[in-house]
Chains A and B, each alone.
Chain A
Amino acid sequence: MIGRLPIAKMLAATVALTAAISAVMLPINWDGQQASTAAPKIDTLLDVMIVLSAFVFSLVMVMLFYALWKFKAKPGDESDGEPIHGNTRLEVAWTLIPTIIVLFGAGYSWAVLHDIEEPAEDPLTVDVFSQQYAWSFSYPGKGNAFSEGELHVPLDRQVHFKMHSQDVIHSFWVPEWRIKKDNVPGITTTAIVTPDKAGAYQLICTELCGFGHASMRAKVVVEPPAEFREWVGGLKDKVPAPFLESIRQDTETNPEPLGAGGA
């Protein structure tokens, strides 16, 4: 049965279509600017997935349109097709090959995940406080310096964000860093980021938190360590008491990200 199909031509068409789709899609920077060490790794994973997906999509398209072109009934043809009920080899193939592809994807993703969450020596810990509809931050040293609506972090140093919510769930996302984590009332969640490009970015709340959700933003500044130290040194506010309370009370149900290996 398969012998009667132009398999080589169909495969060639699939490869050609895959190449064409990849050629159009790969040069586009889908995720936007990259500003953390995690970003290029995640974007490379995306590119690999684009090529694999293009292959699967092309295969389905070639199979579908070849069938529609070749086996379309002539007008007035009321006869039935050939009574083919299946083909065990083919069925095994389209069970096993996708299994291999997705397991490859899972293994690769696991490796990337491990990589981007690997704790570094001497990280900076920053506490993040969210409430309807504002962000604030506290930095180590000088009795916890505190800033509202503006987050500064040093360039090229790993930052561990310890997140606390005062009311409902919020989510911490800086698209250029590719890192997102929910802030959950009652527990401390952690996100690990190593910013590697100086500049100003936006922190976006991505978990629906009420009518002010769309405008719950904060400014993020990544700057050289000296400037960062100077900025923190200039902070006048102390962390408000309820926020300190939430640091004390929140349980760290999830103390170590994957990369820490249960340290």
Chain B
Amino acid sequence: MAAAIKQPGWIRGVLGAVLAAAFGFGLVVVLREISGLPIWQTEQTGYPHVVVPLVTGPLGFLAGFGCFDYWLRWAAGMPTIPDDHSQHGAKSWRDYFRFNTDHKVIGIQYICTTFFFFFVGGLMAMLIRAELAQPGTQIVDAATYNSLFSTHAVLMIFVFVIPVFAGIANYVLPLMIGAPDMAFPRLNALSFWMLPLAGLLFIGSFLVPGGAFDAGWTGYAPLSTGAPLGQSFFNLGVQFAGASSIATALNFLVTIITMRAPGMTFWRMPLLVWANLSTSLLVVAATPFIAGAQFMVLFDRALHTQFFQSAGGGDVISYQHIFWFYSHPAVYIMMLPGFGIISEVISTHARKPIFGYRLMALALIGIVVLSYSVWAHHMFVAGMFSWLRVPMMITTLLIAVPTGIKIFSWLGTLYFGKIHTYSTAMLFALAFIVTFTIGGISGVMLGMVPLDIHVSDTYFIVAHIHFVLFGGSVFTIFAGIYHWFPKMTGRMYDEKLGRVHFWGTLLGTWGTFIPMHWIGMDGMPRRVADYAAQFGDWNLLISCFAFMLGAVQLVFLYNMIVSWRFGPRAEANPWRANSIEWQVSSPPPIFNFDEIPRVVGGPYEFGVPGARHAIMGGEGAEVTKPEPTVVGQA
């Protein structure tokens, strides 16, 4: 037992969480006692003896679990424990439940954790659709309904779509650029372990008085500043998810900028790398804004600051400005990595170089720049200064241009290629082009102020965001998972089940979200548990498609689990792709490369006679020896 407490791991982690939470609780009690305040403050926005342990407890867990061990020892002048890489790689499933600095293990930890939250969030969506199948309230009351759609959105956004891309890139990106690992492996592990904590805070809010947070994922003040205790769980969960995101983005930036294999210039980087570079630029600059906004809400709630209290001189609308200054770039954070995945999949399966590679990369950068100038299009009816609407409309519509470039370039890539559609990844990539075009079109309509005035906060918005986030982002996630599944697991998945999953998902997505446009324009507001009887038939149809969409995800789950365990062994390069990750075994060796590869050409040179992307170590050509890793030094 004593040994278990000394070792970083679950026992010390739980102990750390309990001790730190108890410390936080004690601190509140003591400080309130000294100040002469009543010990228990149970106004719904208060509960300091819950909120403070919510901060200290997770930090205690991270410390106990071993996330800070190396740095703390180094900072305290103690001898650091040299990393002997013995924990690299995962020999059994148990290894995925440990603090591990191997980017491939972390990638899989990310993907499995985020898909867990995807299924929890999906179950909530099923409950939402069950409630909405008929007018009136049948299954949940209005307050619970508000909690359900709020938690559904928050889980899907903060602990599924954003981090699953970080997971896929974590696994694939270092291999793709010929790096042995991420630039900061310990920071990488810390980033991952903050993520389940965020998810648990979001889900845990269902257990507290007043129920889970219910002010929507947007958490507009002053509804959120006066909401029950669950809202504080949201405010704090976002901090952990956000810190995780920012640290990972920094890690990607440094990795991409400094750790590319010799010869890999910026114009030889695969587009997935470009996409993650762009995304990381968005994350590091934009995510602090939502962290700040949620801290301000938390302070308004718990410390009685007046940021968003009009009665105290605060400004209600400023919350929306700060929130959307993050959250509009956030939709590109949730889309750009997907663009990268689609480029890899389409080029490989069409056996063609990416059409207009440089313009594709520049379009990504264009989106990054423009996305900081469009936030107030979420606020056309919010009562902000009216003149601000027109410039925001123009920038919003202009962002369709780089997005259009990407769509047309993917189509151009298909021409004069040899298109193979045997892979489920390619099916999702092609379907993505169609659904994302529809989502883009409705986005342009929403960007036009007069149309937006009519449809904002209606089901048209719900339809649009699901077309871009489900038909867009989630389709690209599925494409990415299927594409790199052989690389990650060393096994092939079942293409037949993949096709069932694909067609079910496509039909389910269209059936669920297309009619939502219609009922929205016709007058059904969003975020309502009950609605006018005239929308009953459409809602019943939508719910039926939604249940089918939900059910078919179980086929995916089954396919992934069973194929991971029993699937046929995968070759190193089953799709005959060019990029470096396919030139090593499946799964890759523990340290990725015996010798760092040397990049000699572009990543998509299909059909170019004699063209090579990279010369791998041991191929006889002159290769650069990797620097020997110095262990045990900070």
Contacts and interface: CB of A to CB of B under 8 A. Distances in A.
Contacts of B433: 60, 64
B394 interface: yes
B356 A86 contact: yes
A85 B359 CA distance: 11
The contact size tier of chain B is: 35 or more
Contacts of A118: none
Most chain B CB atoms below 10 A, which of A31, A67, A109, A208: A208
Contacts of B421: 68, 72
A258 to B, nearest CB: 5
Nearest to B227: A210
Nearest to A259: B386
Given A81-B607, A86-B355, A95-B405, A45 B386 contact: no
Interface string A9-44: 000000000000000000000111000001001100
Contacts of B102: none
B449 A254 contact: no
B43 interface: no
B383 A181 contact: yes
A84 interface: yes
A167 to B, nearest CB: 7
Contact of B415 (A71, A94, A95, A181): A71
B400 A102 contact: yes
Interface string A90-121: 11001100110011011001101100110000
B397 A68 contact: no
Given A184-B317, A204-B525, 12 more contacts: A1-B415, A42-B453, A49-B445, A60-B433, A64-B434, A80-B607, A84-B415, A168-B223, A169-B222, A184-B383, A208-B146, A208-B216
B441 A53 contact: yes
Contacts of B523: 32, 175, 204
Interface in B360-405: 381-387, 389-390, 393-394, 397-398, 400-401, 404-405
B317 A61 contact: no
B456 A67 contact: no
The contact size tier of chain A is: 35 or more
Interface string A154-195: 000000000100011101010100111111111101000000
Interface of A: 1, 4-5, 30-32, 38, 41-42, 45-46, 49, 53, 56-57, 60-61, 63-64, 67-68, 71-73, 77-87, 90-91, 94-95, 98-99, 102-103, 105-106, 109-110, 112-113, 116-117, 163, 167-169, 171, 173, 175, 178-187, 189, 204-215, 253-254, 256-258
Contact of B450 (A42, A61, A87, A211): A42
Contacts of A110: 390, 393, 449
Nearest to A69: B419
Given A53-B444, A208-B216, A254-B383, A42 B351 contact: no
Contacts of B525: 173, 204-206, 214
A46 B420 contact: no
A94 B408 contact: yes
Contact of A83 (B451, B454, B526, B606): B606
B312 to A, nearest CB: 10
B100 to A, nearest CB: 38
Contacts of B438: 57
A127 B408 CA distance: 50
A57 B146 contact: no
Interface string B195-212: 000000000000000000
Report, nearest first, the 3 A-B pairs whose CB atoms are least far apart: A186-B310, A81-B417, A214-B528
B527 interface: yes
B418 A81 contact: yes
Interface in B514-532: 518, 521-523, 525-531
Given A60-B437, A105-B444, A180 B453 contact: yes
Contacts of A186: 310-311, 314-316
B310 A49 contact: no
Contacts of A168: 220, 222-223, 226
5 contacts: A64-B433, A86-B359, A116-B450, A171-B381, A180-B457
A194 B141 CA distance: 38
Interface in B293-323: 310-311, 314-317
Contact of B397 (A102, A185, A187, A215): A102
B253 to A, nearest CB: 28
A67 B397 CA distance: 28
B522 A30 contact: yes
B451 A49 contact: yes
B350 A45 contact: no
Contacts of B143: 211
A79 B310 contact: no
B357 interface: yes
Contacts of B351: 73, 79-81
B605 A78 contact: no
B454 A175 contact: yes
A178 B453 CA distance: 7
Contacts of A215: 142, 530
Given A45-B450, A91-B359, A189-B383, A5 B415 contact: yes
B353 A85 contact: yes
A99 B398 contact: yes
A211 B142 contact: yes
Nearest to B529: A214
B407 interface: yes
Contacts of A207: 220, 457
Given A68-B419, A169-B316, A208-B215, A182 B383 contact: yes
B34 interface: no
B101 interface: no
Contacts of B357: 85-86
B142 A73 contact: no
B411 interface: yes
Contact of A206 (B311, B315, B444, B458): B458
A75 B305 CA distance: 68
A187 B317 contact: yes
Interface in B443-481: 444-445, 448-451, 453-454, 456-458
